[in-house]
Chain A
Amino acid sequence: MRPLSRPSEGELRRLGSGPAPPEMNELLAQFINLLGALLLMLAFAMISQRRILSLIALFTMQGATLVLSTIVVGYVTDQPHLYVSAGITFALKVVLIPLLLHRVIARLDIRWDVETLFNIPTTMLIGILVVIIAFNLALPIAKLSTSLTRGTLGIALACVLLSFLMMITRAKAVPQVIGFLSMENGLFFAATSATYGMPMVVELGIALDVLIGVLILGVFIFQIREQFDSLDIRHLEQLKED
């Protein structure tokens, strides 16, 4: 079990100025880095994915990765409240939101290929540029920190920007919602791994925000469908029906 003298150390490391943790934690920190890489890979896979069902599966996997990394960070830094936020993440992002999304696509009967505005290889090339930019941006910030997982900041930023790119390049509403949710995944990962967790109130607030956001977006999707008989958001560009 965890030694009892650790909380103060954990508090120190939260500020990014703590001493280097013992060796066992080094392996765990590398494991967090690995989970970050996995998150990035999943974000990348989402960009290159055409089918909605696979997109939802990828999003669920991303949520599961996030849960795992939150638990590991909670263990390394000995902050029990991170277990709570891992539990909330699991309930929301691995169970509830995928279920909701499945229900939405079942009701709207949209299982066909996702329409993209650019073709997929171009999107992926832009994606790699985005990753390079994110890594470059994060490098000087990470150098200020001494925490073991400082490298994850760049990965998290890349995840956020990739999801952003996905929202930009998709023409239909449901993939855009998934892009929005996966962007939040990246933010959450940055919050937990690079800074070792936010205060509980903030985390609860964000979790609630996401849930409400999904519900509103779900209603929104149905409304778009009612109005235009299609989920193509390009219809929203016209102000009047003509």
Chain B
Amino acid sequence: MTLASFLSQLLEIVVALALAPLLTGWVSQWRAWLQNKSAPSLLQPYRLLHKLFNKESVLAEHASPLFRGAPYIVFGCMTLACAIVPTLSTDLPLSPAADAIALVGLFALARVFISLAAMDIGTAFGTLGARREMLIGFLAEPALLIVLFSASLISKSTSLTTIVDTLGHRELMVYPGLALAAVAFTMVALAENARVPVDNPATHLELTMIHEALILEYSGRHLALIEWAASLKLFAYACIGLALFFPWGVAEAGEPLVMLLALPALVAKLAVGGAGLAVLETLSAKMRIFRVPEYLATAFLLAVIGMLVHILLAA
């Protein structure tokens, strides 16, 4: 491990931690603009984190250590996920630690712990949220895996850095299979990040909520960590999408100077992607919870068709 690769890894983690709340703020700002509301400040998520970190954390009497540990585990999972997705450079010392399949596993680990913590307290809302979260999770994961597999088929590797290297640094090619995978990935990303067709991130007390129901019992620094982790998850998903479908502008090994260009490129791509996410959310209406399996089945089948199209056209 050279100093340059260590530095690029460090920079990537720092950028993820710093930019993730900004991305969340950017999306909610666009959402407000599109809905003709006066938009909250771009720095609102930072203020929220600051406020929550300064507040006292209240725990339920019967809370087990699991409840207290879950926010740290979730936060750790999301940070690691952001660290192994190549956003600025493909020269990442941590990337051999986890490939695309392990990345999905990381998300699953975080999901399991947050659901267990929600059930740990024994409130009705927590259990309800946990069940819904697991329902969505177990349907979204296979779709996400298939999307990652279609990218892996092209680059013949499940390592994310190799995928980005192959896709980003070769002559311009159009992959019809990847186009289908991109649609499937967008659908999965909306479901996984508790976005509008599946869940509404703006709601705090509604019978239909999923993500908010899970974290109702958290407060103070625990809640801050969870909110930050949610931002990191959105950031990680955005970065996976960019890495798979728009991998240009990512620096290779031994090109420390390109990283200077990679950061503005990343910010520009995220800005466009965040605005697009807000447009998608504004255009669609929240669906009934029992329609969600159908929605995610569509995503899964689209991903499978993308893979089949790739196999057909490559033959």
Contacts and interface: CB of A to CB of B under 8 A. Distances in A.
Interface of A: 27, 30-31, 33-34, 36-38, 40-41, 44-45, 48, 120-121, 124-125, 127-128, 131-132, 135, 138-139, 142-143, 151, 154-155
B191 to A, nearest CB: 15
Nearest to A143: B315
Contact of A41 (B175, B183, B293, B297): B183
B301 A151 contact: no
A48 B305 CA distance: 14
Interface string B210-241: 00000000000000000000000000000000
B312 A38 contact: no
B60 interface: no
A48 B298 CA distance: 8
Chain B CB within 10 Å, residue with most, of A121, A127, A138, A143: A121
B173 A30 contact: yes
A139 B297 CA distance: 27
B280 to A, nearest CB: 15
Contacts of B304: 128
Contacts of B176: 30, 33-34, 36-38
B245 to A, nearest CB: 13
Contacts of B3: none
19 contacts: A27-B172, A27-B173, A30-B173, A30-B175, A31-B174, A33-B313, A34-B174, A34-B175, A37-B309, A41-B180, A121-B297, A124-B301, A125-B301, A128-B301, A131-B308, A132-B308, A135-B308, A135-B311, A155-B312
A124 B308 contact: no
A44 B297 contact: no
Interface string B287-300: 00000011001100
A40 B177 CA distance: 11
Nearest to A138: B312
A135 B172 CA distance: 26
Interface of B: 172-177, 179-180, 183, 293-294, 297-298, 301-302, 304-306, 308-309, 311-313, 315
A30 B174 contact: yes
Nearest to A121: B297
A155 B164 CA distance: 27
| The 5 residue pairs across chains A and B that have the minimum distance between CB atoms | A37-B176, A30-B174, A151-B313, A34-B176, A33-B176
B174 A41 contact: no
Contact of A155 (B172, B175, B309): B309
A218 B302 CA distance: 32
A151 B311 CA distance: 10
A134 to B, nearest CB: 9
B305 A41 contact: yes
B312 A139 contact: yes
A27 B176 CA distance: 12
A34 B176 CA distance: 4
B207 to A, nearest CB: 23
Given A40-B180, A124-B301, A139-B315, 17 more contacts: A27-B172, A30-B174, A34-B174, A37-B177, A37-B180, A38-B179, A44-B302, A45-B298, A124-B297, A127-B301, A128-B304, A128-B305, A131-B308, A135-B312, A151-B313, A151-B315, A154-B312
B309 to A, nearest CB: 5
A89 B297 CA distance: 33
B127 to A, nearest CB: 26
Contacts of B312: 135, 138-139, 151, 154-155
A116 to B, nearest CB: 12
A37 B314 CA distance: 13
A120 B301 CA distance: 12
A34 B179 contact: yes
B184 to A, nearest CB: 10
Contacts of A125: 301
A48 to B, nearest CB: 5
Contact of B302 (A33, A41, A135): A41
Contacts of A138: 312
A197 to B, nearest CB: 21
A171 B294 CA distance: 20
Contacts of B174: 27, 30-31, 33-34
Nearest to A30: B174
A58 to B, nearest CB: 13
Contacts of B180: 37, 40-41
B312 to A, nearest CB: 5
Contacts of B298: 44-45, 48, 124
A155 B315 CA distance: 13
A40 B293 contact: no
A139 B315 CA distance: 8
A167 B141 CA distance: 32
B282 to A, nearest CB: 17
B305 A121 contact: no
A228 to B, nearest CB: 30
Contacts of B308: 131-132, 135
